[in-house]
Copies of this chain bind each other. A is one copy, B any other.
Amino acid sequence: MSNIKIAQKVQNLQSSAIRELLKHSKMEGVISLGGGIPNPDLFDHEGLQIAMDKVLTHAWKDAFQYGLSEGDPGLRQLICQLLLKRTIICDVDDVIVTSGSQQSLDIVARALINPGDIVVVEKPTYLAALQIFQLAEAEFVSVGTDADGMIVDELEQLVEKTCIKAVYIVPTFGNPGGVTLSDERRKRLVELSRRYNFVIIEDDPYGEINFTNETFKPLRAYAKEMDNTENVIYTSTFSKILTPGARVGWVIVPDWLKKAVVNLKQATDLHTSALSQSLTYHYLLTGRLGNQIEIIRASYKQKCQILSEQLEKELGDHLTFHKPKGGMFLWARFKYEMNTTKWLSKTLSQGVVYVPGEFFYCNQPDCSTLRMSYVTVSDAHLKEAVLRLKHSLNALPS
Q: How many angstroms between the C-alpha atoms of A63 and B103 in the bound complex?
A: 19
Asked if A268 and B61 sit within 8 Å, CB to CB, the answer is no
- Asked if residues A110 and B256 are in contact (CB atoms below 8 Å), the reply is no
Docked complex Cα distance between A243 and B55 (Å): 14
- The reply to whether A267 and B132 contact each other, CB–CB distance below 8 Å, is yes
Q: Given the complex, which residues of B lie within 8 Å of A128, measured CB to CB?
A: 266-267, 270
Say whether A16 faces chain B, with CB atoms less than 8 Å apart: yes
Seed contacts A2-B231, A246-B274, A268-B268; 6 additional CB < 8 Å A-B pairs: A1-B230, A13-B264, A49-B56, A65-B243, A67-B245, A243-B275
Which of the listed residues A106, A263, A279 has the most CB atoms from chain B within 10 Å of its own CB? A263
A204 to B60 Cα, complex, angstroms = 26
A241 interface residue per 8 A CB criterion = no
B37 near A61: Cβ-Cβ < 8 Å: no
Count residues of A near B (Cβ-Cβ below 8 Å). 82
Q: A289 at interface (Cβ–Cβ under 8 A)?
A: no
Query: When each residue 309-338 of chain A gets 1 if its CB lies under 8 Å from chain B and 0 otherwise, what string results?
Result: 000000000000000000000000000000
Q: Which residues of B contact A268 (CB under 8 A)?
A: 102-103, 106, 268
**How far, in whole Å, are A69 and B100 apart by their CA atoms in the complex?**
14
Listed stretches A4-12, A167-175, A297-305, A343-351; interface member? A4-12
Interface residues of A (CB under 8 A from B): 1-8, 10-11, 13-16, 19, 37-38, 40, 43, 45, 48-49, 52, 56, 60-67, 69, 98-100, 102-103, 106, 110-114, 128, 131-132, 135-136, 165, 197-199, 230-231, 239, 243-247, 254-257, 259-260, 262-264, 266-276, 279
A247 to B14, CA, bound (A): 26
B197 pairs with A2, CB closer than 8 A: yes
Residues in B neighbouring A255, C-beta threshold 8 A: 1
**Which B residues lie within 8 Å of A259 (CB)?**
15
Contacts of A65 in B (CB 8 A): 37-38, 40, 43, 243-245
13 A-B contacts (beta carbon < 8 Å): A1-B255, A1-B256, A2-B231, A4-B230, A10-B260, A13-B263, A15-B262, A37-B66, A43-B60, A65-B244, A100-B269, A102-B270, A131-B267
CB-defined contacts of A262 to chain B, threshold 8 Å: 15
Write out the residue numbers on chain B whose beta carbons fall within 8 Å of the beta carbon of A38. 65
Task: Name the contact of A269 in the complex, choosing from B102, B165, B257 (C-beta under 8 A).
Answer: B102
Which chain B residue has the least Cβ–Cβ distance from A197?
B3
CA distance A158 to B6 in the complex (A): 22
Given A106-B268, A128-B267, are A66 and B256 neighbors across the interface (CB < 8 Å)? no
Are A110 and B245 in contact, with the CB atoms below 8 A?
A: no
Query: Which residue of B is nearest A242, CB measured?
Result: B64
> Do B244 and A66 touch across chains, with their CB atoms under 8 A apart?
yes
B243 with A271: CB separation less than 8 A = no
Chain B residues closer than 8 Å to A8, beta-carbon distance? 114
Residues of B within 8 A of A266 (CB): 15-16, 19, 128, 131
